[in-house]
């Protein structure tokens, strides 16, 4: 694949030698509050013309810093490198002249990358007017062509639109068109799909892959998501705390990782079809104000030995691979230690929480449309769907945190009124997505945990003991009681959020994207914790997530939501393997999995589209629509086995299998 784009425009190839991006010994230091932070420490990587490199690692590993260094956008940081060159030009001095021209970037959040006050056309044409000095009409035509190239429909009409009129995926395509306007040879991508739904992400990845083949673009992809790196890249460089741990071909590194850190990252990934415990990487990033002269992963490494305190060099390890670990060879056949087994969950009991025809409308959008769902005692019900499908609203309705327009809610057999009793509040709690906003930054952990104890009269004689018990429950040291949220890591904050929800000894918890904002290794630890708590305490959960792999890992049953309605509901194994409903199939096939090579269904349109209220909500995007029936009549519920129902016009046939 990489050979396709060897012809590089711009005359930067000299004497037949192929020069792409080449970075050697890149070091970046920031002046921090507690001293100089060594964000990058002698990092090497290279992207040949037409090649694609993925930079992976947890947050704080320095991936984005490396990218900003290439663009010369690090401001007052100290940037030093033995060599940082692109096409023969020294980036240490010429980066400002190259960025936006030979080198362009696409960032994570398309909403903030576009100026909300200017039309799309103006923003795409601007680099053509300013950099390429094209006449206005020509620039306009070229901009429309770029929008068409990024797969946007009706580019001429789109040129007149403002960013708020576009969906997230369309905005990211516009951002890509803007990046292409400078006719770059190298495209830097900083988590380009992290803010998008998987179905939209799949389309963007296809687009990037196509651009690379068509234009001979080189891509440098920064991502925490190993699945999309696997899908898009030839080579991968694993960064940890500012140092390269491992570099090599993607299939090799992700298929047979050699460095303990890479192995830990892969062991922490939830995968569809596997229910055994995930192996989190213990510990947290080291203090980057005092770089460890030896291996800086040593404190977290299960294979650490005394010689790891010596400086480690990147050493060749097989064909085209380098690894920074002196034990990589001898460890090749050691497995990453398995996590302690999760205690088996007790069988689910009687229905605890049941909704009947629950509905909520926001202005023109029916966010939740006649939803009837039940969660049994001790059961985890996964709720999956794209953003805008109404899953968060449904969670809030079930806790009476948002008012429903119609429908009823039953909890433990009794009706829950719109203003529920304190007893209901005590028994039904919530864990939030974003650990940074879930905790009051002005309260200590002890105050945060004490509030529900006081509120529900559970403190009894000794609140301090109860707080210590809660901290122990979520595996935090009792000394954390005196800390403020900013003194905790993301995973620790999320544990405090879970402890707060557990403080009232609830029977039912809504986990709203509770692990989505966490790094893979931390996510694994929190998922294990939730699985363990659920088994030990007999908790019932509504586990809301856009990540079907996480749901498949934790949930007993899964409900798939689209356009405010439940499309399919049933036991995880029965719903996902193989998928029946076309929407479930599309969701599942879009998930970028490491080593996954399944056919993809890219859905047209986006999930936020307003629906007329008649027919199947999914009909307009459905790849298997059978005709006008789908758009005219509400689909019936069909029985697909024990506890498994599907809302679809397509009859369930035994031979109906969506290819995987």
Partner 1 sequence: MTARGRITDPLRAGGITLTVIAVLAVLGIWRTPYDPTAFAVRLRLAAPTLAHPFGTDEFGRDVLSRVLAGAHLSLAIGFGAMLVSLLLGVPLGLLAAFDRGWLGAAIMRAADLAISLPPILLGLLILAVTPPSLGKTILAVGLVYVPIMVRLARAVALGLLEEDFVQAARARGEGAVSILVREILPNAWPPIIVECGLRVTFAILLGASLSFLGLGPQPPSSEWGLMIAESRQFLDQAPWLALAPGLCLCALLVAVNATGEGLRARLDPSHG
- Asked whether 282 and 533 are in contact (CB, 8 A), the reply is no
**CB-wise, 422 or 610, nearer to partner 1?**
422
Q: How far is the CB of 366 from partner 1 (least distance, A)?
A: 22
Q: Is the dihedral of CA 579, 584, 585, 591 positive or negative?
A: negative
* Cα(553)–Cα(278) distance, integer angstroms: 9
**CB-wise, 330 or 454, nearer to partner 1?**
454
The secondary structure of 550-580, three-state, reads HHHHHCCEEEEEECCEEEEEEEHHHHHCCEC
**CB-wise, 237 or 355, nearer to partner 1?**
355
Q: How far is the CB of 502 from partner 1 (least distance, A)?
A: 12
Give the DSSP letter string of 349-406: -SEEEEEEEEEEEETTEEEEEEE--EEETT-EEEEE--TTSSHHHHHHHHTTSS--SE
**CB-wise, 327 or 391, nearer to partner 1?**
391
**CB-wise, 16 or 441, nearer to partner 1?**
441
Q: How far is the CB of 440 from partner 1 (least distance, A)?
A: 4
Q: Which residues pair with 380 in a beta bridge?
A: 541
Q: In the complex, which residues of this chain contact partner 1 (CB under 8 A)?
A: 399, 401, 420, 422, 425, 428-430, 432-434, 437-443, 451-452, 455-456, 484, 486, 497, 500-501, 504
**CB-wise, 74 or 498, nearer to partner 1?**
498
Q: How far is the CB of 394 from partner 1 (least distance, A)?
A: 15
**CB-wise, 309 or 422, nearer to partner 1?**
422
Report CA Rg, the chain: 26
Query: Residue 658: phi, psi to the nearest 5?
Result: -85, 125
Q: How far is the CB of 423 from partner 1 (least distance, A)?
A: 10
Q: How many CB atoms lie within 10 A of CB 470?
A: 26
Q: How far is the CB of 36 from partner 1 (least distance, A)?
A: 13
Residue 454's Cβ-side half-sphere holds a number of Cα atoms within 13 Å equal to 7
Q: How far is the CB of 416 from partner 1 (least distance, A)?
A: 12
Q: How far is the CB of 481 from partner 1 (least distance, A)?
A: 14
* Cα(499)–Cα(490) distance, integer angstroms: 14
* Cα(14)–Cα(307) distance, integer angstroms: 44
Q: What is the SS3 assignment for 491?
A: helix
Q: How far is the CB of 542 from partner 1 (least distance, A)?
A: 13
Class of residue 56 by CB neighbours under 10 A (exposed 0-12, middle 13-18, buried 19+): buried
The whole-angstrom distance between residue 511's C-alpha and the CA centroid of its chain comes to: 16
Q: How far is the CB of 653 from partner 1 (least distance, A)?
A: 45
Q: How many CB atoms lie within 10 A of CB 245?
A: 30
Residue 353 region by backbone torsions, left for phi larger than 0, else alpha for psi between -120 and 50, else beta: beta
**CB-wise, 173 or 360, nearer to partner 1?**
360
**CB-wise, 187 or 499, nearer to partner 1?**
499
- Asked whether 47 and 218 are in contact (CB, 8 A), the reply is yes
**CB-wise, 215 or 451, nearer to partner 1?**
451
């Amino acid at each position: 694949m990489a050979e396709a784009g060897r012809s590089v425009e711009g005359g930067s190839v000299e004497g037949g030698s192929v020069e792409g991006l080449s970075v050697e010994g890149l070091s970046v230091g920031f002046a921090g509050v507690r001293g100089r932070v060594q964000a990058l420490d002698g990092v090497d990587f290279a992207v040949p013309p037409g090649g694609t490199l993925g930079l992976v690692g947890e947050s704080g590993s320095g991936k984005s810093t490396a990218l900003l260094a290439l663009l010369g956008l690090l401001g007052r940081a100290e940037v030093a490198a033995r060599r940082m060159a692109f096409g023969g030009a020294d980036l240490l001095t010429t980066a400002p002249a190259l960025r936006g021209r030979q080198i362009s970037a696409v960032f994570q959040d398309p909403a903030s990358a576009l100026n909300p006050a200017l039309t799309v056309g103006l923003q795409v044409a601007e680099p053509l007017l300013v950099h390429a000095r094209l006449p206005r009409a020509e620039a306009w035509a070229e901009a429309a062509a770029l929008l068409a190239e990024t797969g946007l429909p009706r580019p001429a009409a789109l040129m007149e639109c403002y960013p708020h009129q576009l969906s997230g995926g369309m905005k990211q395509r516009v951002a890509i068109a803007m990046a292409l306007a400078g006719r770059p040879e190298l495209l830097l991508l900083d988590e380009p799909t992290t803010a998008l739904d998987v179905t939209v992400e799949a389309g963007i990845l296809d687009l990037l892959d196509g651009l690379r083949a068509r234009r001979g673009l080189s891509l440098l992809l920064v991502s925490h998501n190993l699945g999309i790196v696997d899908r898009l890249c030839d080579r991968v460089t694993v960064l940890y705390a500012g140092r390269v741990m491992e570099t090599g071909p993607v299939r090799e590194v992700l298929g047979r990782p050699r460095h303990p850190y890479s192995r830990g990252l892969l062991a922490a990934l939830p995968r569809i079809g596997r229910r055994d415990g995930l192996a989190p990487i213990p510990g947290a990033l080291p203090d980057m104000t005092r770089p460890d002269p030896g291996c800086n992963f040593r404190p977290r490494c299960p294979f650490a030995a005394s010689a790891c305190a010596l400086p480690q060099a990147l050493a060749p390890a097989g064909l085209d691979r380098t690894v920074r670990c002196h034990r990589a060879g001898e460890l090749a056949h050691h497995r990453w230690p398995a996590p302690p087994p999760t205690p088996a969950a007790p069988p689910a009991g009687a229905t605890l929480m049941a909704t009947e025809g629950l509905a909520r409308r926001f202005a023109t959008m029916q966010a939740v449309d006649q939803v009837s769902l039940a969660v049994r005692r001790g059961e985890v019900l996964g709720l999956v769907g794209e953003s805008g499908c109404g899953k968060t609203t449904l969670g809030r309705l079930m806790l009476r945190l948002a008012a429903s327009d119609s429908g009823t809610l039953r909890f433990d057999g009794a009706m829950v009124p719109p203003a529920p009793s304190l007893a209901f509040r005590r028994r039904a709690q919530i864990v939030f997505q974003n650990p940074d906003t879930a905790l009051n930054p002005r309260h200590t952990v002890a105050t945060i945990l004490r509030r529900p104890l006081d509120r529900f009269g559970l403190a009894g004689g000794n609140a301090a003991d109860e707080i210590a018990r809660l901290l122990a429950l979520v595996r935090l040291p009792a000394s954390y009681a005196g800390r403020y949220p900013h003194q905790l890591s993301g995973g620790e904050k999320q544990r405090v959020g879970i402890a707060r929800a557990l403080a009232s000894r609830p029977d039912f918890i809504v986990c709203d994207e509770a692990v989505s904002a966490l790094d893979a290794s931390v996510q694994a630890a929190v998922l294990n914790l939730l699985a363990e708590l659920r088994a030990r305490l007999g908790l019932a959960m509504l586990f809301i997530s856009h990540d079907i792999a996480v749901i498949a890992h934790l949930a007993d049953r899964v409900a798939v939501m689209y356009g405010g309605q439940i499309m399919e509901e049933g036991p995880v194994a029965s719903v996902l393997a193989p998928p029946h409903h076309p929407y479930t199939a599309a969701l599942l096939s879009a998930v970028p999995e490491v080593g996954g090579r399944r056919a993809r269904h890219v859905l047209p349109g986006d999930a936020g589209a307003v629906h007329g209220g008649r027919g199947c909500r999914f009909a307009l995007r459905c790849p298997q629509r059978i005709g006008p029936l789908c758009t005219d009549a509400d689909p019936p519920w069909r029985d697909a086995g024990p506890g498994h129902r599907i809302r679809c016009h397509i009859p369930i046939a035994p031979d109906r299998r969506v290819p995987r």
